[in-house]
Copies of this chain bind each other. A is one copy, B any other.
Amino acid sequence: MKVDGKDLRTIWLDKDEKTVKIIDQRRLPHEFVIVDLATVADTITAIQDLYVRGAPLIGVTGAYGVYLAALNAPDRRVGNDYLLGEAQRIKAARPTAVNLAWAVDRVESVVAQATGGDQKVLAARREAGVIAAEEVENCRRIGEHGVRLIEQISRRKEGQTVNVLTHCNAGWLACVDFGTATAPIYAAHDKGIDIHVWVDETRPVNQGTRLTAWELGKHGVKHTIITDNAGGHLMQQGKVDLVIVGTDRTTATGDVANKIGTYLKALAARDNHIPFYVALPSSTFDWNLKDGVKEIPIEERDPDEIRYVHGLDQNRTTRVLICPPDSPAANFAFDVTPARLVTGFITERGVCPATAQDIRGLFPEKFVEPTAANG
């Protein structure tokens, strides 16, 4: 997407083909800094210390890490054992990131089949590039399918502003380009549809305030930051036409795990007859799960993410304590929105209602073994 008029992705190979460029997302929105990754160690730091975040972007970063391993192998000794070891190190940077392991393994196995140092380097570079291109293409298609929903609302409102509410950051910063929840929004904006986005702040880590507001602003999309408390009131007052969020994990029956607070917005959308869509590449479906509330474990994170807030004081980034020093806090990172509250899914293959049957209709190859129907 655009940053100050210039086209940008979250990760790219430099012209010299020796360094990988990323945005240090920890420093947004107060500083915009592009960082060079030249080694496996750099890659691990970027993943571990959250310079990069979002399943697709973490995966692509890991994929390029395998390329850097091959490129910088000592004495061009690009043996398979050596690369396997480097791949393990990269995967260990965030052991629970399914996408990271998947992308790293994919590059590593392609490289293992190539013969000779130069061929291995070439194969790694090509495969990392293919993974990045696939991620971009998936997001582009999500935008292409999702924009139709926005066009319909725009027509119904006779060209008046379409108001979309989103939670957290399922934007291009979490992907390589376009984003998931934001892909239909950018597509609508780029087609000249009058669109405005209500950006949930998304406490505790404020991905909405820090990242979604930043990327929408830089691309020139109209937006307004609101507290996580405000969405219900806005919906009640007719100020929201559509909700689009991303997801970290979605069951084969349509239950959606996403950033904490998503469930509350889905309830408000239902109470006010507002469509609530979830945008996702099909890789986010967990085909083995049937009951999200019971089966998806919810990570509890450091309470200090709640007790302290990060921001800019004068020209210095710092954190402030916002509660009594001895008050405990509990930090649940995700919640589960039951399928019954979800209007539909926007995937790279198209849009479908949030039922097991409709999901299966769109991705039949994932259900090769006949199972008892569940809906």
> How far, in Å, is A354 (CB) from chain B's closest CB?
16
User: Which residues does chain B contribute within 8 Å of A126, judged by CB atoms?
Assistant: none
User: Which residues does chain B contribute within 8 Å of A334, judged by CB atoms?
Assistant: 233
What 1/0 mask marks residues of chain A from 213 to 232 whose CB sits below 8 Å from any chain B CB? Answer: 11001000001111111111
**Most chain B CB neighbours (cut-off 10 Å) among A29, A201, A224, A231:** A201
Q: Which residue of B lies closest to A202 (CB)?
A: B229
A261 at the interface (CB under 8 A from B): yes
Q: What are the nearest 7 A-B pairs in CB distance?
A: A311-B320, A229-B261, A233-B335, A225-B329, A29-B324, A267-B267, A213-B327
- Total A residues in contact with B, Cβ cutoff 8 Å: 64
User: Which residues does chain B contribute within 8 Å of A232, judged by CB atoms?
Assistant: 261, 263-264, 267, 335
Additional 7 contacts, C-beta under 8 A, given A263-B268, A264-B268:
A202-B229, A210-B323, A217-B326, A217-B327, A232-B267, A233-B335, A267-B267
A39 at the interface (CB under 8 A from B): no
A138 at the interface (CB under 8 A from B): no
Q: Which residue of B lies closest to A307 (CB)?
A: B225
Q: Which residue of B lies closest to A326 (CB)?
A: B217
Q: Are B204 and A330 in contact (CB under 8 A)?
A: no
- Interface residue from B224, B228, B229, B311 paired with A329 (Cβ < 8 Å): B224
A293 at the interface (CB under 8 A from B): yes
Q: With the chains together, A199 CA to B324 CA distance in Å?
A: 12
A308 at the interface (CB under 8 A from B): yes
> How far, in Å, is A308 (CB) from chain B's closest CB?
7
> How far, in Å, is A366 (CB) from chain B's closest CB?
27
A142 at the interface (CB under 8 A from B): no
A289 at the interface (CB under 8 A from B): no
Q: Are B310 and A260 in contact (CB under 8 A)?
A: no
A206 at the interface (CB under 8 A from B): yes
- Interface residue from B202, B236, B308, B321 paired with A293 (Cβ < 8 Å): B236
A260-298 CB contacts (< 8 Å) to partner B: 260-261, 263-265, 267-268, 271, 293, 298
Q: With the chains together, A122 CA to B263 CA distance in Å?
A: 57
Q: Are B227 and A228 in contact (CB under 8 A)?
A: yes
Q: Are A228 and B228 in contact (CB under 8 A)?
A: yes
Q: Knowing A312-B320, A320-B312, A335-B236 touch, does A229 contact B203 (C-beta < 8 A)?
A: yes
